[in-house]
Structure 1
Amino acid sequence: MNRKDEHVSLAKAFHKDRSNDFDAVQLVHHSFPGVDVDQVTIATTLFDRSFTSPFFINAMTGGSPKTKEINRDLAEIAQACDLMMATGSVSAALKDSSVSDTFTVVRETFPTGFLLANIGAGSPVENAQRAIDLFQADALQIHLNAPQELVMPEGDRDFRQWLTLLERTVAQVNVPVIVKEVGFGMSRETIQQLLDIGVETIDVAGSGGTSFTQIENARRKKREMAYLDHFGQSTVIALLEANEVNQTFTRIASGGIRDAFDIFKALCLGAKSVGLSGTILNLLLTKGKEETIATIQSWQAELTLLYAMVGQSQTSDLTNVPLVLSGPVKDWCEARRIPLTTYSFR
């Protein structure tokens, strides 16, 4: 089976609604919201551009006939719901032009969409630009996935040039760059390294959703590395780490987002936008395109009500919402000297 098809099949097989660290984030309720729902906007701003929703379809797939049809469906969903969309890694198309159409289909389907091309951190600048040119991407998403590569039987083993290559790419490509993890989260130290080389937009992409160590371990003959199935920092913890960095940058959150309430909590923790992959893929594969569109439109309506519930009329004001952190998230904050009252009394 094509490796990209294997990833899709395993992601669907492993997908399940389960508790994650978003459940450790509790809102402090105040009884007088003081806003009019009709005045609420859930729009957000990225790359000096306004988007009607504070969430988007994040990187998933491409590279085979099956994934071409999935990307076509995802682009139709993005168009129907007016969402930004990222493709999966286009490395397959850079190596084999015969699968280019599994990625270019997103631009053909959604010609006016804001679309992101995705490549790995070990890619040279020329490949980064080729990925952008493949379907006239509006921005470039560069993924960090060292744990996945190490568990992947045929994965990379040399990471010495990653940061250097990232710095060159950020300086030379002609579109905005997002650097993202693939579900292992980030630390403040990692974020500072990225800021030091000129990165301005970071997707902290934590654990809690699709686990690529679990997927790659399932592809190993002995499946002996199951202890890494849930490796890494959660999205909640990664956002808390990001907030400890004393430098301005744009935060994106993804990983373990199950519904509108998780999107909302991520925005309250400082994300400007929230990416969804596994939840949308599972909806598409199990319920179909029309029901996926209906669900996303329901989330958009729910977010308007959630903003009003906490007395905020726009996305940028959600960081005023007081939050109480408990359980493993609280333990992490105490161990990493993240002051809890910063959130509970804001």
Structure 2
Amino acid sequence: MSIRSQRKEDHLALAGQFYKTNKPNSFDQMHLLRPALPETKVKLEQLTTVMFGKKVAAPFFINAMTGGADKAYAINQAFGKIAAKTQIALALGSASILTKEPKALTSFLVAREEDPTGVVIANLNAKTKADSAQKIVRALEADALQIHLNSVQEIAMPEGERDFTWLTNLQDLRQKLTIPIIIKEVGFGLDPTTIRLLKSEGFTLFDIAGSGGTNFAQIENARNERDLSYLEDLGLPTVLATILAKNEQVEVIVSGGVRQPLDVFKGLALGGKYIGVANVFLQALEQKGANFLLQMIKNWQEELAYLLALYGISDLKQITKLKKYYDEPLYSWLQQFKQKNSFKSECPKLD
């Protein structure tokens, strides 16, 4: 097994080792005002939306996790089958390994084989050259491409990248690729300055991937002889990162610590176009099996429809109008951004 494949196997094992059910995060500090008289009915069809030109049954999807390792083949095969049966999108893990090890393609391609007509999203690092990206996107018949920005993970990774001059290559990717491009963090949150810069370069869709879920500094630190555990606290919480991103008037995918349907609902209420779910689904598959994950996703779809009805929402477009209020320290963070950055988003209190 190559060093790259072994690293991916390590990531899978450590993601399970550090996984905690219902790990507290910023979603717990956000609340929505619920009408006692909602005047609505539970309707699953209200969840249907369009993602990259294709109809999907719900606005949440299986976010990027794995590929390029022996174990990844079975995982992506299961994800592909489940995505097809539940009619939700699937984002694959980083396929950058294919530029060095093209034989690893089968561990990614199996997902598209199992879900030939659904939404499949490829994932590459920010230094992948445009010609390689085009070949990978074509091979996977990808509907969109995630480009991940993972500088904190790379520093914590013992064999990681140390050159983060990525902008020129991102510009080239934007100019040469014709499919939608998503700029994605990996669990440390996208900041407004980065979003503003990339927006000026023509990027319009951003996956927040805030802190509160899988911590790749923790995972890489477990592989490192040095103690770089202080990097584990560098993340921007998902709810805060989402509010700051929406203030930049861009389209946002909310991910990072989504644990259950209420987090999905809150992400949509914050203005998320779609909601990405990663390690919760991976661990359900790994610990309980494919049938369990299939039923889990069906349950999430039903329960998200329940929440729409409970909050008086008959159309997904209405969800951002719900009144929101916040606990400390999230409230304090929002106030600081308002004062220091002319932050003009909604006041973090009932209005």
Query: Do they superpose with TM above 0.5?
Result: yes
Pick aligned residue for 2:245 from 242, 260, 263: 242
The residue that corresponds to 1:266 in the other structure is: 267
Mapped to 2, the partners of 1:51 and 1:166 lie a distance apart of 28
What residue number does 2:231 align with? 228
Tell me if the contact between 2:187 and 2:256 (Cα under 8 Å) persists in the aligned partners.
yes
Per-residue Cα deviation, 1:72-118 (whole angstroms, up to 9, x for no partner): 11111111211110111111122112211011111111111210111
1:174 positional shift = 2.1
2:174 is aligned with 1:170: yes
Q: Are residues 39 and 88 of structure 1, via their aligned partners in 2, closer, same or farther at CA, if it must alter by over 3 Å? A: closer
Superposition deviation, residue 344 in structure 1? 4.0
Over residues 109-146 of structure 1, what are the superposed CA-to-partner deviations in whole Å (9 max), with x where a residue is unaligned? Answer: 11112101110011121121122022111111111101
Aligned to 1:210: 214
* Residue 192, structure 1, aligned to residue 196, structure 2: yes
Is 1:137 aligned to residue 138 of structure 2?
Answer: no
1 CA distance for matches of 2:18 and 2:277?
16
Distance 1:189 1:286 in 2: 39
Return closer, same or farther for 1:288/1:35 CA change in 2, 3 Å cut-off. Answer: same
- What's 1:73 paired with? 78
CA distance in 2, matches of 1:176, 1:33: 37
| Equivalent in the alignment of 2:99 | 94
Distance in 2 separating the partners of 1:62 and 1:147: 21
Matched-pair identity in %: 39
Matched residue, 2:257 = 256
Q: Structure 1 30/40 Cα, relative in aligned 2: closer, same or farther at 3 Å?
A: farther
SS of match in other structure, 1:263 = helix
Match of 1:8 among 7, 12, 17: 12
Name the aligned partner's letter for residue 107 of structure 2: T
2:233 aligns to what SS in structure 1?
coil
For residue 33 of structure 2, the aligned residue among 28, 40, 47 is 28
Deviation at 1:343, TM superposition (A): 5.3
What is the alpha-carbon distance in structure 1 between the residues aligned to residue 349 and residue 282 of structure 2? 34
Post-superposition CA distance 1:225-244 (Å, at most 9, x none): 11222321111111111122
Question: What amino acid is the match of 1:54?
Answer: P
Q: Residue type of the partner of 1:233?
A: L
Q: Displacement, 1:285?
A: 0.6
| Offset of residue 43 of structure 1 | 2.1
Quote how far apart the aligned CAs of 1:37 are.
Answer: 2.5
**Residue 54 of structure 2 contacts residue 118 of structure 2 at CA under 8 Å; is this kept in 1?**
no
RMSD: 1.6
SS at match of 1:100: helix
Matches within 5 A, 1:284-303: 284-303=285-304
Q: Is the 8 A contact 1:208 1:230 kept in 2?
A: no
Q: Does residue 41 of structure 1 match 2:46?
A: yes
State the distance in 2 between where 1:303 and 1:211 align.
26
Distance across 1 between alignment mates of 2:309 and 2:348: 19
Q: Which amino acid aligns with 1:132?
A: V
Quick one: distance in 2 between partners of 1:90 and 1:142?
A: 10
For 2:43 and 2:11, locate their aligned partners in 1 and report how far apart those are by CA, in whole Å: 42
Report the secondary structure of 2:36's partner residue.
coil
Distance 1:286 1:230 in 2: 28
